[in-house]
Amino acid sequence: MNTATYAELAASSDHAVAVTIAFVGGLIVACALIWAVRVGMRVMDKDTHHPAPEEQPHLPDTGPVREMREMREPDDVPVVTRDGQRLMPHELHRASTRTGKDQKPRRWSPGSSGSFGGGGLGRT
């Protein structure tokens, strides 16, 4: 195609009608989307219960809750012998660990490399 063909297509009335139809179609789609958002906002305002200030969460009287750090140890399932009774669900614990007897955290000890291949002699 050459420049004359492009000029002829741009000047034709069919092209102007097509552009007008595309513009009107886009305008209809944009208006439909705006309408749908407004209807959705109205529905959300009717359905959603907004809590009153008294229903909002608040800090406990003792202040903010802080992180609790503790050493844990495994809490194994008790072993039942063949002549013993079976364990019932209420006898099992909800966590697989419990608070350890020794709450002193383990520290790095001098002379240990800390990792495999770390270059040190390790514990001797």
pTM comes to: 0.34
The structure tokens 């195609």 sit at 1
- Which amino acid appears at position 97 of this protein? T
Name residue 98's beta-bridge partners.
Answer: 73
Beta strands in 1-120 (DSSP E): 72-74, 97-99
CA 83 → CA 78, 79, 101, distances in Å?
A: 14, 12, 31
The two three-digit tokens of residue 6, written as one number:
């492009």
Stronger pLDDT, 19 or 121, i.e. the higher one: 19
Q: What is the structure's pLDDT at 100? A: 84
Q: In which band, very low, low, confident or very high, does the pLDDT at 71 lie, cut at 50, 70 and 90? A: confident
